[in-house]
Structure 1
């Protein structure tokens, strides 16, 4: 019988957290103020969405409960930790006063509030570099897989991916012109949110023996999931609350950020969200190895989430 999506997400998170707890005990040694700040942010109650994408692009969801020994698939767990490190670094830096200037993240004080700005910057730097180091530790795979994985993560998180999206987002706050807003919004979110999500899916897929035949569909699906994730985030920033979101709502409007509700209105934003759900599902429906409860159920789960 197919495994329900809720069980898949729970099993995936448990597998990742088990690896995370055991592996980071040695990884973040010796203990310093920097390692304390890194672990504070890494352990701050995240949903582990991107590591879950990595794991489920490698494993079939029905196999997840059987995978008790993470050493057998060490490389895919290293990849999942790498994307979580990159994602956490981006959150630390996003929250800084020079960026989004937020005091709360995941219902807790942000890293620069808990420690200080300099420590937060260095903790983010640490997690950024650490993610690429983790990919270099792949086991039982060839050098081409290591090379490809480093390039995948760089495309997602680097100067033409997540970082460029963040830069475009900041620049757009200072641009009052309405000209080209639709294409700019798409560009920002494809890079700022979507690029790392796509990298997460591709990293897990790259470690499979059949990775080449699945890569094009995985990439298209991941891009759609990234778009869906951001549209939903934009809606939640308007309609959500601090208790559910774990971060301050309404900041996008106050900062004058370009979002789907601000550009199209809430009704159209929700229509675009629903269309994205349908498109994502259609992309994997006819691919045997992807036609499972994870890939089919994920779009609706993202659209209906509250945080």
Structure 2
């Protein structure tokens, strides 16, 4: 990974984590079993990749602050925390016995193993509702920005996005289709993985004054990043190990899930991954405000990640 991109990712994560640690002290007070479960899952590690998408869709690399200013640009951090809450809720529920039934997440016991199943369900519910509350707190001179941001997150995480993708994935696992599997695979992952990734990019972009002129390109780029992310995830589920992944590898194949290596074979899956990298880069090449180290370097970083 290029040094400059590495620094951008590191700085962005530090900005988010600094805001997260200070803001959640009041957000999850007083301490109860349910707040403990929420914080356990939120603090369980991870690369904070979706908050990083929010932050870098707002800042250009040359504008990225070197130190956290919790009052200046607070809305950017609120939006990034909202996305992380939604993502973490989805992981908590995804790990439940009725879903993927996993006992390890990010190298730690999953929420329902550390606490219990009922507490995990309620922790997920808490984080889901909390994310939309956080967006209601956005500080912006544009009266439509809060409304748009709530709609963006709902589009990515709700009944037309992540939730629908998860439902399609469950239905496919229970009753595998024999026809049009390519379209089914694309549909599942555009919604289950890609929709929230696209929402992350669009949320950060919506807070900029020039958001309208960037929206279409940002959306297309984000959709390609979502596809690339899932292809890479599917490859890692076959080739990865528990230490690197922080979760049980090989579960998709055992569960009979529809995946890129399973449908196309590993060689073709890797070819599709590489083609997706090239396409993502080409999408932003003609827009100066996006033609920078973060947007150019991100596709290759995602394709080469180990977890």
- TM-score, structure 1 normalization: 0.98
State the Cα RMSD in Å: 1.0
What is residue 254 of structure 2 aligned with on the other side? 254
Choose 170-179 or 25-34, whichever is displaced more.
170-179
Q: Secondary structure at the match of 2:30?
A: coil
Cα displacement string for residues 231-290 of structure 1 (whole angstroms, at most 9, x for unaligned residues) = 000000000000000000000000000000000000000000000000000001111000
Choose 174-183 or 241-250, whichever is displaced more.
174-183
**Residue 30 of structure 1, CA deviation:** 1.4
Contact 1:220-1:283 within 8 A present in 2 as well: yes
CA shift in 2, pair 1:58/1:210, >3 Å: same
Cα displacement string for residues 152-210 of structure 1 (whole angstroms, at most 9, x for unaligned residues) = 00000001100000000000012233201000000000000000000000000000000
CA shift in 2, pair 1:66/1:3, >3 Å: farther
Measured in 2, the distance between the counterparts of 1:3 and 1:209 equals 30
What is residue 147 of structure 1 aligned with on the other side? 147
**Residue 67 of structure 1, CA deviation:** 4.7
What is residue 29 of structure 1 aligned with on the other side? 29
**Residue 3 of structure 1, CA deviation:** 7.2
Contact 1:224-1:280 within 8 A present in 2 as well: yes
Measured in 2, the distance between the counterparts of 1:305 and 1:228 equals 11
What is residue 109 of structure 2 aligned with on the other side? 109
- What aligned pairs does 1:134-173 form with structure 2 within 5 A after superposition? 134-173=134-173
**Residue 82 of structure 1, CA deviation:** 0.1
- TM-score, structure 2 normalization: 0.98
Contact 2:76-2:207 within 8 A present in 1 as well: yes
Q: Secondary structure at the match of 2:130?
A: helix
Measured in 2, the distance between the counterparts of 1:191 and 1:83 equals 15
**Gaps spanning 5+ residues in structure 2: where?**
none
Q: Secondary structure at the match of 1:85?
A: helix
- What aligned pairs does 1:112-127 form with structure 2 within 5 A after superposition? 112-127=112-127
Equivalent pairs counted in the alignment come to 306
Measured in 1, the distance between the counterparts of 2:286 and 2:159 equals 34
Cα displacement string for residues 35-85 of structure 1 (whole angstroms, at most 9, x for unaligned residues) = 000000000011100000000000011222445313110111000000000
**Gaps spanning 5+ residues in structure 1: where?**
none
Measured in 2, the distance between the counterparts of 1:150 and 1:177 equals 34
Measured in 1, the distance between the counterparts of 2:3 and 2:246 equals 29
